[in-house]
Chains A and B, each alone.
Chain A
């Protein structure tokens, strides 16, 4: 074997080895994140976290019960607005669309999906906080729903499209009208996929912080209804993490663990259902 060939073989194994190292590095980051968060969050998590209100700075103890309820409220509101709009718009794109208009809608949807979340926050602020003259749960929920709509639309469209054409034709051949076909054949056939898509969308907005910073602000106490500033887990993590108090840092870890578990569990569940469900992914 001459020197040149040896060098080529050496470069071959070196570079291929390096790509392996790249993979190892990037994947291990996930485990480092998980591990460190579980370690710190686990130490910090106690029953009070789920049942008590936050204590003023400097005092030890307390929890984030209001932020857990607040996040649940915001997510519910965002889902109540975002899922129906996204679902119906997705049905339009997949079933009723012509040529040009759906193309525009699809494009704008992707555009909206790519808008930085902080800009969505500004928009919700101009649209809701300014006319109402105060921060509110409404504004926070609306901001989150704006992030959910494009995700819900595109995933609904994608899963409806994966229903085979022959099923539609079968229904139409039996004399069903178009909307009847959509309502009783296409949508039920792709229900698993559509639902998992929605779960992924909701999991994504559950962790969003930036759109909430100046829409529903935050709150150290319970908030009645949707008309007052509302606490949420992501914003709590932010404010507690950048604060100088040790006990607040502890709470931030606990909240981080709870949020990460929620998001990852729903993601893994959705992906498992999707890989196993009747409707193929794409």
Chain B
């Protein structure tokens, strides 16, 4: 089980990343950050929360890189 604080730390990191991209003049997508904050704010525990939280915590851009 992932502690809620770890998810909050991840959200802070993602927000910093978003600001850095904005300063460069880019238009970054912020869907993941919205999802993460929405999940943290959920008042109830959902099924398969371990899986969902691990997925959120380990999300980073490189998962979209396809192999050879």
Are A and B subunits of one complex? Answer: no
* A residues in contact (CB < 8 Å) with B: none
* B residues in contact (CB < 8 Å) with A: none
